[in-house]
Amino acid sequence: MKELIEKGESCLLHTYNRFPVVFDRAEGVRLFDTEGKEYLDFFSGIAVMALGYTHPEYTKRLHEQIDKLVHISNYFYNEPAISAADYFTKASGMDRVFFTNSGAEAIEGALKMARKYSRNNYGEGRSDIIAMDHSFHGRTMGAVSVTGTPSYREPFEPLISGISYAKYNDLDSVKALVTDKTCAIILETVQGEGGIHVADTEFIKGIRELCDKKDIVLILDEVQCGMGRTGKMFAYQHYGILPDIMTSAKGLGNGVPVGAFACREKFAALVAGDHGSTYGGNPFVTAAINAVFDIFESEKILDNVNEVGTYLYERLEEITKSSDSVTDHRGMGLMQGLEFNCEVKQIIGKALEKGLVLIAAGSNTIRFMPSFIITKEDVDEMIDKLVQVI
């Protein structure tokens, strides 16, 4: 393992401060490194492995698709993509969907569609976008531009112009930024990287009403919090609202790189030639989407998210009350966070030594985002290890 790490350090671009582990295989919610050590995974590849690792039905479906057709140009139809689009639009309440290769690409498409809609209806000059402080939307230039953390933006400036940042869960701060040039408001329904902050009902419904009143496009980023992570298929469904455009990725493909942006019919402003993707929505990745939706239904995955998510919340509350170093506990479903009065990198490193994989959100919050097949016994094991480390 040491030799592999040294080789990686010599040839990989150093854009990650990687932990000194080389993972080799996985099963269920367990990872194994190249030396055979076992780890309990409460990270799931940054909220990606919704069905866990090597799920037999999922793996079988992908093998079948590899034997049939992996890729064909979007100048032609393919059955898996049509089926996946049908699944996705019905689950999200949207009318149209475009499949991408990642969440960041989904954000790019959403921003383009919002600006095109505004241009079609109001002409040039109405292109400003309101985003949120402490948000995270991805690493591409458009996604970075609407990410409300300066350290992600400043090295790459100048970025897209016309972006301003309101305070999350502060409706008045959003209203104060609205002008006759505002075309869209973008936010995560639950902030992930920013520290696991859940949108208040009054806040998100207030933004929905504001957008309806002024014909501003509401974009909800569900890349991390969507696809069942909060206990409903999409987090905005907790509030009884629909966005105008929404984005998805992460658990959508259960490890296969795929994302999506979708919209209501009124906002489907992109036409032939406006947008495209060589790989987006090819038969292989959309076969993965179909498998995910089928397994969600057949195995009642959301029921487990709600049951075990409630249990996880109770156990993390115990730590919050008993530990002087924990200052807050937030989240819903299987997307929760513990905020500490210190940086958490050492805690995560020590947990890794004990065979527990965790991830930070910012510098002082640990995110808990396990696979949806997690059990209460797995939660108990995680809590025991975490308490030892704390």
**Confidence band, pLDDT 50/70/90 cuts, at residue 362:** confident
Q: 173 and 89 in one domain? A: yes
**Collapsed DSSP state (helix, strand, coil) of residue 164:** strand
The pair of three-digit structure tokens given for residue 129, joined into one six-digit string: 């976008």
149: domain CATH number is: 3.40.640.10
Give the per-residue pLDDT at 302: 98
Is 20 within the bounds of a domain? yes
Q: 122 and 20 in one domain? A: no
| Cβ(347)–Cβ(340) below 8 Å | yes
Tell me the angle at which helices 79-92 and 283-298 cross, rounded to the nearest 10 degrees: 50
Query: How many Cα atoms within 13 Å fall on the side-chain side of residue 69?
Result: 14
Q: What is the pTM of this model?
A: 0.97
3-state DSSP helix/strand/coil % of the chain, to nearest 5: 40, 20, 40
Distance from C-alpha of 28 to C-alpha of 267, rounded to nearest angstrom: 40
Average pLDDT, stretch 227-237? 98
Q: 280 and 132 in one domain? A: yes
Q: 155 and 44 in one domain? A: no
Residue with tokens 């699944």: 87
Average pLDDT, stretch 2-6? 95
Which strands sit side by side in the sheet containing 356-357, from one edge to the other? 23-27, 30-33, 38-41, 356-357
Distance from C-alpha of 372 to C-alpha of 98, rounded to nearest angstrom: 25
Q: 263 and 356 in one domain? A: no
| Cβ(330)–Cβ(196) below 8 Å | yes
Q: 291 and 313 in one domain? A: no
Q: 126 and 13 in one domain? A: no
Say whether pLDDT at 343 is over 90: yes
pLDDT tens-place string over residues 45-57: 999 999 999 999 9
Average pLDDT, stretch 5-29? 95
Say whether pLDDT at 103 is over 90: yes
List the single range of 49-53, 115-119, 193-197, 257-261 with lowest mean pLDDT.
193-197
Q: 382 and 258 in one domain? A: no
Q: Is the dihedral of CA 308, 87, 282, 103 positive or negative?
A: negative
Q: 309 and 320 in one domain? A: yes
Domain that holds residue 377: 2-55+300-389
